[in-house]
Amino acid sequence: MATVAHLDFERAIADVEEQIGSLRTLAGERGVDVTTELAALERKLNGLKADTFANLSPIERVGVARHPRRPYTLDYLELVFTDFVELHGDRQYRDDASIVGGWARLDGESVMVLGQQKGRDMKENVLRNFGMPHPEGYRKALRLMKLAEKFNRPLITLIDTMGAYPGLGAEQRGQGEAIARNLREMAALKIPSIATVIGEGGSGGALAIAVADRVLMLENSIYSVISPEGCAAILWKNATARDKAAEAMKITAVDLKRLGVIDEVIPEPAGGAHGNWEDAAAAFKEALVRHLNELRALPADELRRTRWQKYMGMGRWRHAG
């Protein structure tokens, strides 16, 4: 994994990491024993990470969710699953690289996995369209969902998108219809399904692969109908009011768990998933296996009934008059 970039609120953490690196370099060059000094700095670093990430504001969690070194779908496919075989195309127009998916094994069990994929550099972001799917991406996702249902295999989706691509071509090819169809079809699947927000969960572009039996969120991910910047631009006519918008929108995992929108918050290692991919993946895997074991015990009719009740039970209804 490449060197981790640091956000503004991580400057103190970066300073201690730099001290640790310098001390190790000095020890290597001069052959001196710095075990005691390193242990003290490591304790200081761990404390700083724990304190910093335990008290993040909503807008700071937005920064973590968008971190360029945060694990993406393909990273979790490598760390959590085995024997991944990617499937391509929607059988109508083309293959959309912003959504990847295929067969894989989770703890030895065959499952269908799909998710949005961002790029690490400009070339890859152009290929992946910055993780914003076209309608053919959602049609590919639906094809894989129905394939999983055909073979009675669980479905696992990973959500990480700013939203569906809003370009003219995408609209001409039926972006809204593709998303709406996925919502309907996911709600009626006869197989266990788990959706996890691993980074950004933006609007209908996220929801199109998130109508699952269980919806999980990594601790520092976000899930909302619009970005804080977009909300601020609409309500306050100023995108710089994004801090206020992020607070009001209740987009963090803890807020959404309290509101009953998601089912579980998966803890991230101190310092965030971008600082320790392996521990983040281990926590993610444990949650997936546990929820799948619970869902596997339910017959198809019970899955569909409880799924319907889950989504119909969200929010509050008011009748005028």
Q: Is 178 helix (H, G, I), strand (E, B) or coil?
A: helix
pLDDT at position 3, please?
47
Cα gap 221→133, rounded to integer Å = 19
pLDDT at position 59, please?
94
pLDDT at position 321, please?
64
Summarize pLDDT for 161-175 with one digit per residue, the tens. Answer: 999 999 999 999 999
Judge whether residue 4 has pLDDT over 70.
no
Non-local (6+) Cβ contacts of 300 within 8 A are 190, 191
Judge whether residue 317 has pLDDT over 80.
no
| Residue 195: its H or E element | strand 193-202
Instruction: Kindly report the length of the chain.
Output: 321
Question: What does the mean pLDDT of the chain come to?
Answer: 92
Cα gap 89→95, rounded to integer Å = 4
Q: Domain 62-312, CATH 3.90.226.10 — does that match?
A: yes
N- to C-terminal Cα separation, the chain: 60
pLDDT at position 320, please?
76
pLDDT at position 55, please?
85
Ranges 42-56, 96-110, 167-181: which has the least confidence:
42-56
**Side chain identity at 120, as an amino acid letter?**
R
Give the predicted TM-score (pTM) of the model.
0.90
Q: Average the pLDDT over 240-257 and give the result.
A: 94
CA atoms within 13 A on the CB side of 286: 12
Tokens at residue 106, please?
């989770």
**Please, which pLDDT band fits residue 2 given cuts at 50, 70 and 90?**
very low
The two beta strands, 109-116 and 99-106, are: antiparallel
Cα gap 261→248, rounded to integer Å = 16
Q: Is 248 helix (H, G, I), strand (E, B) or coil?
A: helix
More confident residue, 251 or 7: 251
Summarize pLDDT for 106-154 with one digit per residue, the tens. Answer: 999 999 999 999 999 999 999 999 999 999 999 999 999 999 999 999 9
pLDDT at position 1, please?
43
**Please, which pLDDT band fits residue 34 given cuts at 50, 70 and 90?**
confident
Q: Average the pLDDT over 261-268 and give the result.
A: 96
pLDDT at position 26, please?
76
